Amino acid sequence: MRGIARIVAAALLTSAPALAEVAVSGPDQGLTFTLTSQTNVLTGEIASPRGKREPLLLTLTTVTRETLGSKGIDGTAGIAARAATRDMPLLYSVRLPGRTAALDELGLISIDLDDCCTLHRAYHDPATGERLFETTVPVAPLTIEGPSYKRRVAAFVARMDGREDHRAWGDTAVGMITYAAPDRVIHRILVKADTVENARRLRSLDDERTALAWVDAVNGGPIVTVPENGTVPPVLRLHFITADIQLTIPLHDDGFVPDPPPADLTLTAQPEPPIAGGWRVASAKAAPWASGATTPELANRYILFSRDTVRSAGSVFDCRHATYERSTVPPEGLFLGAGLTPAQAAALGLDQPMSPSFTLTCDTGVFTFHRTPDGRWLVALSNVIYGLERAVE
């Protein structure tokens, strides 16, 4: 009976309408209406900051203010995440600029912004509250069919002159293309024009109409679902409609390989953490150099990697100020030069002449990770080699 009650409660939370309050202030000739709206939603099972795979309860609160006779709407959006357990401990709470907040079909938190236009929207990771990407055009979702469905989304945000982070892209920047999964950014590509004047014209939200869509590489028609074997190659098309300029970026095995752009545009891939998103510690075995008993303390734990932080519920991988440095390493250089033979490396699944690797440096230490051909990352800690598998495809 108690289990049935929990199911009913979950159904009510996910389907309940938002609670709203309205307050009126100011003189009659300039009344200000303050609308406070709150919605509670349950996520699906995701890798959470508690080192587990579990649903989270999100409380999304928006406060908007609009004055009669004045242009614009001021707003703030709050996200509070709790573990979906009986005591519901608070995992994080953030307050951001925004006019609406919702959990979208991809499982991301979408927030309507008021910086520029009705289409300006930010998307946040529900596990951490961190912003993953923005867009100033409708996003382009994609489902990749296979043994399990992979959900993806593409977005484009035009460079805004008033944004300090956008100004870092340079005066000739038109905007940023993003390709993302439900828990991470996979690729970002910066679009630049040949001149400042052309860049301003293409990124103008008043003078340029821009569209983003997945299309069939053969027939050029719209496409939202493709088989994983690639028989229908998806192509991302960014179309500057007013200027009649198109960029096409084919997708191969979750990798972007842009077609040559028009002569007056350039595309530059931006660096992303090679292990971004949620991972499960799926294996733990004694290292070849271990001489005594080992304790696999991290077995079955979930770890969240983001651009600046790593979260792992109090383990040594719970760290801030994270940086990632890519490299390739021969067998004898694996695990900080532990002296493995090629046979020992092959027994761990690292049988390449040079293994794709990266070094994580943060405030709790320096760790090296090595990628196996089947997509796992291996890391050594306290004489145990842990194998990480992706938690979200």
pLDDT for 69-90, tens place per residue? 777 778 899 999 999 999 999 9
Both 352 and 286 in a single domain? yes
Q: Would residue 143 be called left, alpha or beta, if left means φ above 0 and alpha means ψ between -120 and 50 degrees? A: beta
Judge whether residue 244 has pLDDT over 90. yes
Both 80 and 158 in a single domain? no
pLDDT score recorded for residue 18: 64
Last residue of a domain, one of 272, 302, 320: 272
- What average pLDDT score do residues 112-130 get? 86
Give the range of the structural domain holding residue 190, as residue numbers without chain letter. Answer: 136-272
In 3D space, the residue among 373, 331, 327, 333 whose CA is nearest the CA of residue 349 turns out to be: 373
Both 149 and 222 in a single domain? yes
Both 144 and 257 in a single domain? yes
pLDDT score recorded for residue 255: 87
% of the chain at pLDDT higher than 90: 70
Both 83 and 156 in a single domain? no
Opening angle at CA 191, ends 190 and 192, nearest 5: 115
**Does 116 reside within a domain?**
no
Both 261 and 386 in a single domain? no
Last residue of a domain, one of 44, 65, 95: 95
- Spatial contact of 152 and 145, defined as CB atoms under 8 Å apart: no
pLDDT score recorded for residue 2: 37
Give tens-digit pLDDT for 29-69: 888 888 999 999 999 999 999 999 999 999 999 998 888 87
Looking at per-residue pLDDT, the higher value among 95 and 26 belongs to 95
Q: Would residue 339 be called left, alpha or beta, if left means φ above 0 and alpha means ψ between -120 and 50 degrees? A: left
Give tens-digit pLDDT for 334-379: 998 888 999 999 999 999 999 999 999 999 999 999 999 999 999 9
Judge whether residue 318 has pLDDT over 70. yes
Both 263 and 146 in a single domain? yes
pLDDT score recorded for residue 116: 64
% of the chain at pLDDT higher than 70: 92
**Does 111 reside within a domain?**
no
Domain count, the chain: 3
pLDDT score recorded for residue 194: 96
- Spatial contact of 302 and 47, defined as CB atoms under 8 Å apart: yes
Both 253 and 287 in a single domain? no
**Does 124 reside within a domain?**
no
Last residue of a domain, one of 95, 125, 156: 95
Both 79 and 36 in a single domain? yes
Query: Measured between alpha carbons, how far is residue 266 from residues 25, 131, 259, 319 in Å?
Result: 51, 26, 11, 36
* DSSP-based three-state secondary structure for 215: strand
The top-scoring range by mean pLDDT among 106-115, 142-151, 160-169 is 160-169
Judge whether residue 1 has pLDDT over 60. no
- Number of neighbouring beta carbons within 10 Å of residue 219: 9
Both 183 and 235 in a single domain? yes
Both 161 and 203 in a single domain? yes
**Does 18 reside within a domain?**
yes
pLDDT score recorded for residue 369: 97
The H or E element spanning position 282 is strand 277-286
pLDDT score recorded for residue 181: 94
pLDDT score recorded for residue 365: 92
* DSSP-based three-state secondary structure for 383: coil
**Does 108 reside within a domain?**
no
pLDDT score recorded for residue 229: 67
**Does 126 reside within a domain?**
no
**Does 117 reside within a domain?**
no
- What average pLDDT score do residues 96-114 get? 91
Judge whether residue 260 has pLDDT over 70. yes
DSSP per-residue codes, 156-181? EEE--TT-HHHHTT-TTEEEEEEEEE
Residue 8 pLDDT class (50, 70, 90 cuts): very low
- What average pLDDT score do residues 318-327 get? 94
**Does 109 reside within a domain?**
no
Q: Which two tokens stand for residue 343?
A: 């046979």
Both 232 and 196 in a single domain? yes
